[in-house]
Amino acid sequence: DERIAMVTRWMALTLGGANLRRAEERRIGMLSFLAEASDLLAGSLDTERSLALLARLPVPRLARWCAVYLLREDGAVKLAAVGHVDEAEAADLSDWAGDPVGPLAAQVRATLGDTVRIATINGAPTVITAMRARRRVLGVVALGRAMGNSFAADEIELFADLARRAAFAVDNARLFRQQVEVAGALQAGLLPPRLPSIDGIELGSSYRAARAGLEVGGDFFDLVPNPDGGWTIIIGDVCGKGAEAANVTGVARAVLRLLVGQRNNLPDIMMDLNRALRDAGHPGPTGQGRFCTLAAAELRPPGELTAACLEDGTATSAAAPTVTERVVSICMAGHPLPVVVRADGTALFVAEPGTLLGVLDDDDVAFPQARVALTAGDALVLYTDGVVEARRGQELFGDERLLTAVRGCVGMSAQGIADQVRAAAERFAGGRLRDDVAVVVARIPG
């Protein structure tokens, strides 16, 4: 009897240890699955991809099939994704799970107020749980197995934990999408919806955000009609990115449109804009005021009697310019110098840099103005510093490469030149621009 009792105790200890090992291995396996699933869900900021992942992750680890539902704004529940161990049956599962009067749909609607719901549908065990994040229900996840294969308590707990983590991933993806839409709307509002049509002038523009998504860039451009029938091209760059930069950009653009529409004196317009930005005192993250660089090119009306000093030392005649000649007044405020590319391929910088806007008092600023004449085939290229500051390692794209790029644009349309300049900077940076790029081109057809 003693020997039998001793053997029994040894066997009990051995079996108990084996059970503990199996339980520990099962627990480790579940934790490993949950960690891997969490990484996959957290790595996606796309709602549809997150839902598709959620539908596939529990299959076949926890269930034979999985259906994911989203709660719409009107309170209705809509099937968003399904996963099945047999891909051939996924379509049938989608039809069955998406049936609004089917047995699963009724259980899903009833689960909106529960944490976890266990049901038997068509004789098979089903576990349903709501996806909750930040005190609101985002949707419902349902798992199903074949008849006779019930869910263990730890499996149900694991499924509930997965649904909680998935809810936060879906909610983050939704928030990200909303912020991207807001940023896109703000960015679109900083650029003209389409270029105007100007007699005798061919226009082109190109814009590329360095990081499409949440950040709103500070680059902007606009074309504003003058009271005398001419047009003014405005291109600028606000220090920084995000909401503060968008705020300053909106103020600068609105003030410029108002001032340009009232008078033609570009240096005075720059002075008034400097006061407006300085007095507004938009602080950046460091508490410093935001500053802005700007270039304004006024396309004078055709036939205007103007003697214009050219950048190469020659001058137009005092007589009226010909139909294929336009005088351009250029005023700078700390912005990269525009480039004139002649019909014969000559390319050179024009104007003088000037002072940043929104920083200094009136007595400390200067906004020099220059005049150039464009004839048939000539083009004026205005751009933001994202072009010349495009990087390849420690090397900048720079002024010389810009001149080389525009020299190769002889004979191209204004849009072709704008696209070529942006593409040259992008190629130099290997497609990884660190700053936004905006290019505007005005060309005399010829």
Measured between alpha carbons, how far is 413 from 405 in angstroms, rounded to an integer? 14
Sign of CA dihedral 115, 116, 119, 124: positive
For the stretch 390-436, pLDDT in tens is 999 889 999 999 999 999 998 899 999 999 999 999 999 888 888 88
Pick from 354, 351, 267: nearest CA to 308: 351
Where do the domains of the chain lie, and which CATH numbers do they carry?
23-183 (3.30.450.40), 194-443 (3.60.40.10)
E strands present in 209-352: 219-225, 231-238, 292-299, 326-333, 339-341, 347-349
The answer to pTM > 0.85 is: no
| Residue with the larger pLDDT of the pair 304 and 84 | 84
The two structure tokens encoding residue 317: 């005649």
Contact 44, 50 (CB under 8 A): yes
Pick from 119, 64, 50: nearest CA to 92: 64
Over 10-48, what HEC string results?
HHHHHHHHHHHHHHHHHHHHHHHHHHHHHHHHHCCCCHH
For the stretch 216-231, pLDDT in tens is 667 889 999 988 888 9
For the stretch 335-368, pLDDT in tens is 999 999 999 999 999 999 899 998 888 889 999 9
Q: What angle do CA 134, 138, 143 make, to 5 degrees?
A: 120
Contact 326, 299 (CB under 8 A): yes
The two structure tokens encoding residue 78: 């809509």
For the stretch 143-189, pLDDT in tens is 999 998 889 888 888 888 998 888 888 888 888 888 777 777 766 66
